[in-house]
Amino acid sequence: EPEVTQTPSHQVTQMGQEVILRCVPISNHLYFYWYRQILGQKVEFLVSFYNNEISEKSEIFDDQFSVERPDGSNFTLKIRSTKLEDSAMYFCASSRATGVNTEAFFGQGTRLTVV
Amino acid sequence: AQSVSQHNHHVILSEAASLELGCNYSYGGTVNLFWYVQYPGQHLQLLLKYFSGDPLVKGIKGFEAEFIKSKFSFNLRKPSVQWSDTAEYFCAVKLINTDKLIFGTGTRLQVFP
């Protein structure tokens, strides 16, 4: 069964450093998403991406964040200058379509620890 | 703002006990509803979903959920839990005019043999 894969599973970085989280969505999916979950809190939407453009983003997704689909298979989330409060589990997801009556498939997550 | 509430943060059950996890949302329009499960160290996996039609939906592993529109609820049930159901369970809502899922805080279920 096809699945969304994320690398690395755990990343530790120093405050102020740049990190790139990587995701390989399901191959025939066209819509891509990043979510995050700070320990003990809700899973929160960050951004959705379609046709090489951001289609929707949350208030959390400020100028420190960017997303890219550098080739035909990867989808990345970059945090330019990490802060302690960026420590969280980051989930990538993809879907074949969008709108009502569609479902997203999630990866296993990347745990980011900023020290 | 739209929100999803899961009232049970941590549930502990013995095997064969019945399970009901509550989920309520605040949004008056048309929604899609989901329950996801996350087993330790694994990805978020879809348990079941409601788009339209019969408000009682059946999912994988013997789970079911009932959409009660008047109560804005989508509670998850299983008549007899197993040790392997130990996981974190997330309720999520998708509004029709957006791509994003709005998640609840999750419920940690521990099942003891």
Q: Which positions in chain A touch B92 (Cβ < 8 Å)? A: 43
Q: Which residues pair with A93 in a beta bridge?
A: A33, A106
Rounded CA separation A82/B46 (Å): 31
Higher pLDDT, A97 or A48: A48
Strands (E), chain B: 3-5, 10-14, 19-21, 24-26, 31-38, 44-50, 56-58, 64-68, 73-78, 87-95, 101-103, 107-112
Residue range B88-107: mean pLDDT, rounded: 90
- Cβ within 8 Å, pair A104-B30: no
A58–B100 C-beta distance less than 8 A: yes
**Share of residues in chain A with pLDDT > 70 (%):** 100
Nearest-Cα distance to chain A for B105, in Å, is 4
Q: Which helix (H) or strand (E) holds A91?
A: strand A88-95
Which of B40-49, B67-76, B81-90 shows the lowest per-residue confidence on average (mean pLDDT)? B40-49
Query: What is the identity of the amino acid at B53?
Result: G
Q: What is the pLDDT of residue B71?
A: 94
Q: Which residue has the tokens 């998403």?
A: A33
**How far apart are the two ends of chain A, measured CA to CA in Å?**
37
pLDDT classification of B90: cutoffs 50, 70, 90: very high
Minimal CA–CA distance to A18: which of A74, A68, A72, A71? A68
**pLDDT confidence of A30, banded at 50, 70, 90?**
very high
| pLDDT of A100 over the 80 cut | no
Number of DSSP helices (H) and strands (E) in chain A, helices first: 0, 11
